Structure 1
Amino acid sequence: MNATTEQRIALISVHGDPAIEIGKEEAGGQNVYVRNVGEALARLGWQVDMFTRQVSAEQETIVQHSPNCRTIRFQAGPLEFVPRDNLFVYLPEFIEKFRQFQQENGITYHLVHTNYWLSSWVGMQIKKIQGSKQVHTYHSLGAVKYNTIDNIPAIASKRLAVEKEVLETAETIVATSPQEKQHMRSLVSTKGNIDIIPCGTDIRQFGSIDREAARAKLGIAPDAKVVLYVGRFDPRKGIETVVRAVGASKLRGSENLQLIIGGGSTPGNSDGIERDRIEGIINELGMNDMTTLPGRLCQTVLPTYYAAADVCVVPSHYEPFGLVAIEAMASGTPVIASDVGGLQFTVVSEKTGILAPPRDVPAFTDAIDRILMNPEWREQLGKAARERVISKFSWDGVASQLSELYTQLLELPVVPDLVPALVSSLEKSVAQPAAQVSKEPALQR
């Protein structure tokens, strides 16, 4: 359904800047999702404003992506990068800037689509203040994440409470897979509305270059067996699994086996620490000669890497969706992925790739060897993978589904402005999150 030019949508992504380069600190799937959804909605005629937090004085406050789509950055807290677990205290200032922007521009957003739990709290306050309807996408569930990590942050209890509240109060939650919806129901709340609309990918960009041309461009031998990982350096991404799996491959030593680990890192930050750890494992296994770490792969070169690979491995401990999987599949490359979360939805085992138990090195080794040792099957898997993405996961298709959902919600009666005085009380609700959490019982893992 096409929108009229009068229809506006606010996409709120406090920590995931849709205008930032993908691959930088804490820039990943959420940034890609918000940016591409925004641009695709604009092509349907929506006026799309994407709101995020400014992290440096050098950043533009407004980035115009297309005539109908722009990113708007607010200063909330210091003009510097702040890890997401430390951002909650700055959210009242973000809300005040949002309301000020509306007033100065004569705009009222009757519908906000929030992304990640921090933004969901912002959206819930806006809803209480001015009656805006709220759609929310989690991108990651605290109830799942905290079962996969050892060091649970102080903000955890606040996050879990906010994620429960938004599920029960938003007009609807957009789950990106049936598996994510199931997790919401079993781990968060049985109340609230949930619609399933998947993430998407650019089927023109990914799949735009063939394997032979891609390898020539990257200087990879035509007969090489190439295993690719793309993503952040984060322990939960399971990079160690793919390194050890390739190291144990039957093809090691007898074939021109190569492992490419694509992803940026910042020395001293958490991703830099994980990269150092992974490099230590590569050294330990004697895999330096067969492993390449090209750093951050920008969107212009990423399709070339996917196309050049024989197989792309997504060994995450958990993924609510997994954009890398459908980017690789759109490029005609089979995917070996952990049998978890949304990856169970995107990858059809034995048809577009193989699903393996997370952290199970022998299972990943076996899957890699099966595909690399059978080139004809590899071609069949790759062809089926691209066909699946074209039919289910294009950004334009995702935006059309969201557009229809937004239109239905906007046709519902608008709730009048509620309690403007609520703004002055927002600071109170965030004043002691860390102190309160520290006194609460430890979360069960």
Structure 2
Amino acid sequence: MNATSEKRIALISVHGDPAIEIGKEEAGGQNVYVRKVGEALGRLGWQVDMFTRQVSADQQQIVQHSENCRTIRFQAGALEFVPRDNLFDYLPEFIEKFLAFQKENNITYQLIHTNYWLSSWVGMQLKKIQGSKQVHTYHSLGAVKYNTIENIPPIATKRLAVEKEVLETAETIVATSPQEKQHMRSLVSKKGNIDIIPCGTDVQQFGSVDRETARAKLNIDPEAKVVLYVGRFDPRKGIETVVRAVGASELRESQKLHLIIGGGSTPGNSDGIERDRIEGIINELGMSDITNLPGRLCQTVLPTYYAAADVCVVPSHYEPFGLVAIEAMASGTPVVASDVGGLQFTVVPEVTGLLAPPQDVPAFTKAIDRILMDQQWRNELGQAARERVINKFSWDGVAAQLSELYTQLLEQPVTKSLVQTLEQTLEQTAVPPAVESTKQPALLS
């Protein structure tokens, strides 16, 4: 066993590459979470390996982020982007590559933290194969998601079953808010262990720019009333709601209202189709003169956009946590958000911002206008928002809580594997029977 194994952790995020540029298709809060948690754990002395799927021959197989933290990419299936709902059949090969990596590097990960339901299935198989202990973060619950969309994908039945199984079999589930824990208990299973550890943000990066400087950099009128949306182009993110809400604002006639919709898109893909739809609505409402779509906002420029805004709107139909909300709050910008999920935890109504029913355009318009029309109150909300994030949601604080949880789990006796011992696993790279029972694609070198 490697000498540092007692402080070694594998973070598995099959579809959410922690080393990818945030804002690309299907790259969002989960990618940020895994990367930032990994880096912060590295600063605490953990050896952190973050495993994901390689989607292009141009991608490095290993990306070293810091001395103790790296991303490792496995080829599973063709080297191309595959939507997450179509990834399940590639998981057996991902597991095979993981086992081979362990053998080649003389490592056995005693503790695995999986992210999203696809990775949870990988973690459950590794638990059966080699007795690894599993911590899991959902990032999104199928039972909630499928209540908010019309077209249920064919993978839904498998996802719901896997999400139930991991709650009942993992050592613990990390919920990012009390609301997410409540949904797990009411919609998934009464069994299993759940700890609440929130997501975090970089309180040095967000909040490093003042509004005057930010607006000068972005060439925004100092007197403008700026409404900001940041996130993927996805119908579930509710961008249409914020567009129509701003379009109905009392301030629109003043010529000082300005809407910024930050987020990347790929033409022809689902996010590109949604962007085209949103642009159609903007044109239909005659808002093209007050709306700016700057594209993907990289992490270096994002703090400037948050600082320049009077209010940040998070109109999602559902969010288990809502990373954008705390990034904005850390920047001293109040938030108007949907009254759902983890947003009920991150945003304190009348203190750090306002909540409105999802997809309720008049309610969003009223909330946005309330903040924009009272500059002093807006500033008070922004100050309280930053204080809340500093006290509750820094990445180093999140990592410290996770580190304590991991340490407690590693101190518990290792149970004997349901399939084979750790020593046998180090000699095996073939996919186990539990994995072979699923449909398996041809293995690629």
* TM-score (ref. length: structure 2): 0.95
Task: Return the alpha-carbon distance in structure 1 between the equivalents of residues 110 and 406 of structure 2.
Answer: 10
Residues 264, 297 of structure 1: 8 Å contact kept: yes
Task: Give structure 2 stretches of 5+ with no counterpart.
Answer: 421-427
Query: Aligned Cα RMSD in Å?
Result: 1.5
Task: Return the alpha-carbon distance in structure 1 between the equivalents of residues 6 and 131 of structure 2.
Answer: 19
Residues 93, 431 of structure 2: 8 Å contact kept: no
Residues 50, 70 of structure 1: 8 Å contact kept: yes
Matched, 1:335 2:303: no
Residues 325, 343 of structure 1: 8 Å contact kept: yes
The alpha-carbon deviation at position 427 of structure 1 amounts to 4.5
Residues 193-232 of structure 1 deviation map (CA, whole Å, 9 limit, x = unaligned): 0000000000000000000000000000100000000000
Q: Which residue of 2 aligns with 1:302?
A: 302
State the SS of the aligned residue for 1:337. strand
Task: Return the alpha-carbon distance in structure 1 between the equivalents of residues 106 and 165 of structure 2.
Answer: 30
Q: Which residue of 2 aligns with 1:230?
A: 230
Q: Which residue of 2 aligns with 1:25?
A: 25
Q: Which residue of 2 aligns with 1:59?
A: 59
Residues 47, 68 of structure 2: 8 Å contact kept: yes
Amino acid paired to 1:35? R
Residues 358-411 of structure 1 deviation map (CA, whole Å, 9 limit, x = unaligned): 000000000011000000000000000000000000000000000000000000
The alpha-carbon deviation at position 6 of structure 1 amounts to 4.8
Residues 115, 136 of structure 1: 8 Å contact kept: yes
Q: Which residue of 2 aligns with 1:106?
A: 106
The alpha-carbon deviation at position 430 of structure 1 amounts to 2.2
State the SS of the aligned residue for 1:430. coil
State the SS of the aligned residue for 1:313. strand
Residues 6, 410 of structure 2: 8 Å contact kept: no
Task: Return the alpha-carbon distance in structure 1 between the equivalents of residues 407 and 6 of structure 2.
Answer: 12
Q: Which residue of 2 aligns with 1:95?
A: 95
Alignment map for 1:426-441 (pairs within 5 Å): 426-431=434-439
Q: Which runs of 4+ in 1 moved over 4 A?
A: none
Task: Return the alpha-carbon distance in structure 1 between the equivalents of residues 98 and 254 of structure 2.
Answer: 60
Task: Give structure 1 stretches of 5+ with no counterpart.
Answer: 434-445
Q: Which residue of 2 aligns with 1:158?
A: 158
Give the length in aligned residue pairs.
431
Identity of aligned pairs, percent? Answer: 85
The alpha-carbon deviation at position 326 of structure 1 amounts to 0.1
Distance 1:20 1:186, change over 3 A: same
Amino acid paired to 1:431? K
State the SS of the aligned residue for 2:431. helix
Q: Which residue of 1 aligns with 2:119?
A: 119
Task: Return the alpha-carbon distance in structure 2 between the equivalents of residues 56 and 222 of structure 1.
Answer: 43
Matched, 1:292 2:292: yes
The alpha-carbon deviation at position 178 of structure 1 amounts to 0.1
Task: Return the alpha-carbon distance in structure 1 between the equivalents of residues 294 and 280 of structure 2.
Answer: 16
Alignment map for 1:18-417 (pairs within 5 Å): 18-417=18-417
The alpha-carbon deviation at position 22 of structure 1 amounts to 0.2
The alpha-carbon deviation at position 418 of structure 1 amounts to 3.6
State the SS of the aligned residue for 1:288. coil
Matched, 1:425 2:430: no
State the SS of the aligned residue for 2:289. helix
The alpha-carbon deviation at position 414 of structure 1 amounts to 0.9
The alpha-carbon deviation at position 294 of structure 1 amounts to 0.2
Residues 5, 45 of structure 1: 8 Å contact kept: no
Amino acid paired to 1:423? V
State the SS of the aligned residue for 1:114. strand
**More moved, 299-308 vs 418-427:** 418-427
State the SS of the aligned residue for 1:57. coil
The alpha-carbon deviation at position 432 of structure 1 amounts to 8.8
The alpha-carbon deviation at position 425 of structure 1 amounts to 1.9
Residues 61, 73 of structure 2: 8 Å contact kept: yes
State the SS of the aligned residue for 1:289. coil
Amino acid paired to 2:31? N
Residues 92, 426 of structure 1: 8 Å contact kept: no
State the SS of the aligned residue for 2:103. helix
Residues 310-338 of structure 1 deviation map (CA, whole Å, 9 limit, x = unaligned): 00000000000000000000000000000
Task: Return the alpha-carbon distance in structure 2 between the equivalents of residues 335 and 14 of structure 1.
Answer: 31
Residues 140-173 of structure 1 deviation map (CA, whole Å, 9 limit, x = unaligned): 0000000001111100000000000000000000
Amino acid paired to 1:169? T
Residues 110, 132 of structure 1: 8 Å contact kept: yes
